[in-house]
Structure formats: structure tokens, C-alpha cells
Chain A
Amino acid sequence: MSDTCFIKALDLRRFRSHVAFSRSFDGRPVAIFGPNGAGKTNIIEAISLLSPGRGLRAAKSEDMAGRPDPIGWAIRATADTVDGERELAVSIDLRTGGRRKLTVDEAPVGQAALGEVLRILWLTPAMDRLWIEGASERRRFLDRTTLAFDPKHAERSAAYERAMRERNRLLKEGVFDPSWLDALEAQMAEHGAQIVIARSKTVDRLRDAQEGASSAFPRADIAVVGEDSPAVDDLDATQYRQRLADSRRRDAAAGRTLFGPHRGDLEAIYKEKSMPARECSTGEQKALLISLVLATARGICAEISAPPILLLDEVAAHLDEGRRASLYDEIVDLGVQAWMTGTGPELFTALGSRAEMLELASPDSVAD
């Protein structure tokens, strides 16, 4: 067992449907129930914003401001971590046209710093089509999983992205300044190689975490694939830079960079059936995702003494009773604070007193 890491208090102001929500939690899993539109997903979306990136709906700041008077929003959380109590806050004031303000213990920080405090993973109904849609969602899933193990992944991804966008712009404007392009390509090769290595480590960790565990969820054999992304054993910096330099004209014509980790993809195979995830049934596809999230949580607990926080939106409703009970058992065994949503309390009866219940009233009744 590892140490605890959970959200002890959460305070939302003007965040979507929550004008003022405030509550404390004791570290057990949290089962949120209430009718459609009660604001369940909004709560876990707010929690997801306490990690680097744009949160589980990838929404714009403006869209999250409480209507009808969208002037901004604020999320504050007290987290109980191995480093003691930490105060995280994310807010934006749209009236001053400012950007999102992030603080840890009242000190302003960058996005990446949030990942050092909490490791947050999520599953949402929107991810049900993860295995059959385009590669970008799977890449995002892989990078979020990597970030949970390795907070530095946020920084290197942002640096890679910035260098690539700068290069794309130069090529688009026909500025073939060799020294300027060299400078950007050197940084793309440096950060790109780190991204490839970090992703590959994630795949190894997930394999190990599934190996030793007994789980009710199917094993997924995963691999990073994609011909247009560098392979781990092919990361020679000079060659990588040369390849970018050689493809300047081609990239300029395409309007984007055609080679790099931003073109990588994640492949999964249902191990027992040797069946690619995209050809599995809808239920099996979901089970594979749950399996990977649990493996991530297990891997993090084993490696770092800071368990992750799981956000499982509408996951319980789609499992039969047996699987649901197993999911709860595994979550409780891991000792992670999993935030789970569902429409009725009956979905969570198997948890009993092992979880705390949070009932949200229907949107038409009085606000929190």
C-alpha cells in the first residue's frame, strides 16, 4: 500500500451549473448521483482542471463560466498528499480579459506544476469510441497516462508543440532561413525523442502492472505504433534532425510536419482473444479502457508513493453487477479516491460504507 493522496475539500464558484459548491471529503471513493443535468459531470470536470491541460471536456474557459452571467469561475481544492496539505486553485476572470490563473499554496505556477501535486486520470462516455476513432484521442489518452507517471511529460510536450508550430509557421510563410529552422528542429528532435521514450516507458509499465495483477477486467496488450513517428530504438539526434531538414519542402507543401511523435498512435489488443480493440464489442472496448486505467493506478501506486485520483464518469451504469462489484473492490484495494457518477444510488450499493455518497438535486430545484 502506498500513502494517501486525495482531495480533502472542494470549492467551486460560478463553475457551469455550480454557483457555489463547497464540501469536504475523507479520502474514500466518492459516488455522485442525481438526475440528468444535476451537475455530476461538471464536478469531476472541475477536478480534472486541477491537472495540466484543458480538462475532461477540453472546453474553453468562457464556456465553463456560469450562465446567465458568465463573468468567470474559480475552483479551489485542498489536497492531502505525501507532502502534506496542498492548496490548488484555478480561476479566470473574463471581465479583465485575463488568462487562467493557477496557484499552488497561493503561489502562481505554470500548468506543468499542477501535475507535480495531483495525478488525475479519467474515463468519460465520450471516450467510448476511443478505439474506433482517429489517432489523436488515443494519443491524448497515452500522453495523459504518461503524465500521471511522469509530470515532466507536460513540459516536454508543450516545448515540442511550440517548436513545431514555430517551424510550421516559418515554412508556411516561405521563410527558409536555415539557421532559424535548424534551431527549431534541434529542439523538436530533443523534446520529440523524450516524448517517444516516455511513452514507451508507459507501455512497459502498463504491461508490468497487468502482469502480476488479478483483475476482473481483460488484459490489453498495448503498443505505440505509427510509421510517421520515430521508434524508440531509432532516436539518433543527428539523424532525426537530418530527417526534419530534408523534409522542409514537403512539410511546407503539406502545411504541417509529417514526421514526429505528434503522429504516433496507440494500439491495443484484447489479449485472451488476440482481438484488436477496434474489432471488439462496445462493452469489451470499454472494459479494456477500464483495465488500462486500473493498471495505470496500480502502476503509479507501486512506483510512486502518490496514488492518482480517478474520475469515472457514467462508468458504473454500463457494467453488469458482477463487473461493477469487481471494479469497486479493485478501487478500494488500491486505496485511490475514485470519483464516480451515476443517476441513482442503487448503482453504488455494492460499495456500502466503503465510499462516501454525494447526492445532487435536479437542476430545477434550489442550487447547492
Chain B
Amino acid sequence: MSQTAPEIEELIRLLGKLPGLGPRSARRAVLHLARRREQLLQPLATALAEVAEKARPCAICGNVDIGEICNVCADPDRDPSTLCVVEEVGDLWAMERAGAFRGRYHVLGGVLSALDGVGPEELRIPFLVERARAPEVTEVVLALNATVDGQTTAHVIAEALSGADVRVTSLAKGVPVGGELDYLDDGTISAALGARREI
């Protein structure tokens, strides 16, 4: 068995579950932290505790932020006429990084899939339709992946919005098949947004 204390092993095990980290790199990360107790380990622990306590999904759009309503939804300068629908919070953050979109969001938290047990309610599609019915909303942009499930979701949302008196558009086909928004560079996102078309 291992010589390391169980507390440290537990930390290695948890870190190893992070994307991009395996058991080996987690071990290295923990060593690195232990050697920099003051500069890194303690500030990290504080930051983690704080985020764990305060971060939650935004009650309106599903973004993850501090507080009931996220910064994007609370910002009075954002354009209230356009809603952008994305699959994951990471996609929202990618769009914000690109700085190309000035409206508000709806984070689905997944895509429709009968095989994975995800239906319209799980994605809060009824709530999206309700938001889109607000008089100030004139356009809903679907920024979904070009996968089968992403396109199914886009189709179903477009259909659900057909009675809402809004223009429904989707990102230009520049987005590669199965290419997730989060992995695209800022320029590609801006270009895809600029060339969006009606569906």
C-alpha cells in the first residue's frame, strides 16, 4: 500500500477526476501545491471554499456565477432583444471570451437525447419559450453543435418558438461537425455569429 497519508491520497484522487488530469498529473499537482503552501495551497483552498459556498446556476439563464442572478443577466447594458441558446456553460464562457455577442443567454445544460434520458423539460425549453415571448425579445440565436443531438435540439426549439413571434437564427455552418463551441477560437465564433442565418 501507499506510504502517503489518506488525506493526501484523497486529494490526489479528487484532482485526478478533473478534465485533462490523470492520476499521475494529479500526484504532481499535489506535490507542487504542498511545496507552495503559503503562495498556492492556502489561497486555492480559500478560493475553492468560497466558490463552493457561493456559486450556483443563474435562475434565469443557467450560467454559473455568484448570486441568484448572473452578471450577464444583471447587466443593464446588455441587449435585451436577442437570446443566444447554448448547450453548456463552457459555450457561454467561450462566447463571452470572444466578446462578439451583446445579448443574453439560455444555457440548456445538455442536448435532447432519448438514449441518455434527456427531454425538453430537463433543458428548460418551456422556460426558454416563455422568455422569448417577452415583448422586447425579437431574435433567438441557436448556437448548438453540429452533432445529431445538437441539430435535433435546434429543430425542436425552433418548432417550439414558432408561436413566439421571434426570428430564429442559427450559427453559420462554419462550425465543424461535432466541434464544440468551447474549443473554437474567438475569431471563428465571431465569424459564425456574424454569418448567422434564419431557420
Contacts and interface: CB of A to CB of B under 8 A. Distances in A.
A170 B178 contact: no
Contacts of A169: 114-115
A183 B155 contact: yes
A166 B151 contact: no
Nearest to B146: A159
Nearest to B162: A179
Interface residues of B, number: 20
B25 interface: no
Contacts of A184: 152
Contact of B148 (A159, A170, A177): A159
Given A182-B159, A187-B148, A166 B22 contact: no
Contacts, number: 48
A162 B160 contact: no
B120 to A, nearest CB: 8
Interface in A153-176: 155, 159, 162-163, 165-167, 169-170, 173, 175
Nearest to B178: A110
Given A110-B178, A155-B177, A182-B159, A165 B115 contact: yes
A184 B112 CA distance: 11
B147 to A, nearest CB: 8
Nearest to A165: B115
Contacts of A179: 155-156, 159-160
A165 B22 CA distance: 33
A162 B148 contact: yes
Q: 8 closest A-B pairs (Cβ-Cβ)?
A: A183-B155, A169-B114, A179-B159, A183-B152, A162-B148, A170-B114, A163-B148, A179-B156
Interface of A: 96, 110, 155, 159, 162-163, 165-167, 169-170, 173, 175, 177, 179-180, 182-184, 186-187
Interface of B: 22-23, 112-115, 119-120, 148-149, 151-156, 159-160, 177-178
